[in-house]
Structure 1
């Protein structure tokens, strides 16, 4: 017993024990770092797999909605080189800092363009379009219209054309967004009615969205695409409210945002989804009727100018022409 106590109180023994504890702590810390790194790596791999699965589901759904397409071969070396050239130009001139803001990605998504490839193409178009239009305008003015004018004057005119062309990609993007939103707005009341029928028949919200996207593929492929993408997001996102909010943000329509807000509140507070959809469907039908009445009421003012310019002159000619012809005939007979 005395030997054990003396051993435990020995300075060299205590130093050895403390050194062993310190070494174990170092080994444990290093091992925990490796294990946490592996966990982080696994999480990143899982996120990457989810993103790839999302793009795959979206591609399959869009291929199904668009119907059979002619078979195309794999991506050629020229296409790959062209895409790489756009990336190099965007990266070299730092076009993302110059043209991209907080709403650029949302603006592209509202037009139906998603992903980094669409962003690269958009930035490349905004950068190249002014130079291309300047060269074309300068060559056209110098060789045809203003061939006798000085070159500096043609250069000024071409520069103005190039400055106007700088907004051409923005205008094209807005035009594409308006057409897409118009298609979604027209088909949205029908989509609400179909969703209401699906939910009241016992389907879940995911299956209702999927079924409605299939039914509306012919009427509005844009809305069918958005609903299919929302179905995919509902299947893997942790919060269902994010999928609903993403749908409202991608479409950019107030009618869609209001319905998605109702679904988020119903999912958060446990209220009936069918009741919310019924109320929103009734409002959608009333809104459609109001829009039709507004268009009908705006027809008379719109028809006034064409009526005065095109219809009334022809009517006057038809009415007055016989009298004028008879007067000329009488003058000729008297002469």
Structure 2
């Protein structure tokens, strides 16, 4: 047996993969046990608080829209593998910021990370073992470890990038939403009717902002108070500008001030912030352009300027120096 592992690279690779799988399995079982204890403690804590009301108010439509990924996550959890993250609330907020509002989104995210850890090294091993001359064991081990780390962190990078793009789209489209809402309110519509009209008008131009407004209108029509609906709007958007806007609307509604003047002032502030962001990006362009200029154009210019002098030195100066 020892001679087989010593002479056969495929046997050595198979043994190392088996050892790696055993170590990962034992580590995952230990982490899973710790996560289950934390989940039980968090569940007991939630029972004594009022946060359990959110689970009871889940809509039937959200329960019906279960994707194949959520069903796969439930099947895996039913087999005894817990996909709940130790920082579940923070992960849920991150998924909402990226636009994934499904209750099963954190579990699907954890499942995708687990699959990517084994999928990327597995694909690499399949490609390597089919070659006539496979690389050495150390190369396979290092590349497989790097691919495993990439599979662990690539989903995080994807979610972060998507959350940033979503936040940018919402911030850029919200001033237009405020302008249209201001026109509707000054025309005599109420806040609910104005939001409904603006949500239907902005479906194509700013779909994310339109979705947020329409969800808020549906919550108002379902019987939620304005304060609850506006706070949920801020939570769904996860953008500082919309949180400030929701706070302004709640204060205007409680104090009885004019909503039109509030919208006009805040719309002007958001437009000014958008203009300042555009100016900031414009001022960054010369610095960003200087990098390719220095890297690509400066060596070419130096070469063109120094070429005649170099040719003259080779033809005249160097022969004189060596006595030719």
TM-score, with structure 1 as normaliser: 0.67
Corresponding position: 1:211 with 2:219: no
Corresponding position: 1:185 with 2:171: yes
Corresponding position: 1:299 with 2:285: yes
Q: Secondary structure at the match of 1:98?
A: coil
Cα distance change on mapping 1:325 and 1:153 into 2, 3 Å: closer
Runs (4+) of structure 1 exceeding 4 A deviation are: 53-56, 141-146, 314-321, 323-328
Following superposition, the deviation at residue 320 of structure 1 comes to: 6.6
Following superposition, the deviation at residue 263 of structure 1 comes to: 0.4
- Matched-pair contact (CA < 8 Å) for 1:195–1:212: yes
Structure with more contact order per residue of length (Cα contacts < 8 Å, sep ≥ 6): 1
Corresponding position: 1:51 with 2:59: yes
Q: Secondary structure at the match of 1:282?
A: helix
Structure 1, 105-114 or 250-259: larger mean CA deviation: 105-114
Q: Secondary structure at the match of 2:185?
A: helix
- Matched-pair contact (CA < 8 Å) for 1:138–1:155: no
TM-score, with structure 2 as normaliser: 0.69
Structure 1: 5+ residue stretches without partners = 1-43, 60-74
| 1:131-142 map, 5 Å | 131-142=118-129
Following superposition, the deviation at residue 214 of structure 1 comes to: 2.3
Cα distance change on mapping 1:204 and 1:318 into 2, 3 Å: farther
Q: Secondary structure at the match of 1:202?
A: coil
Cα distance change on mapping 1:287 and 1:84 into 2, 3 Å: closer
Aligned to 1:11: none
Q: CA RMSD in A?
A: 3.5
Structure 2: 5+ residue stretches without partners = 1-52, 317-324
Cα distance change on mapping 1:144 and 1:258 into 2, 3 Å: farther
| 1:88-237 map, 5 Å | 88-143=75-130, 147-150=134-137, 154-237=140-223
Q: Secondary structure at the match of 1:186?
A: helix
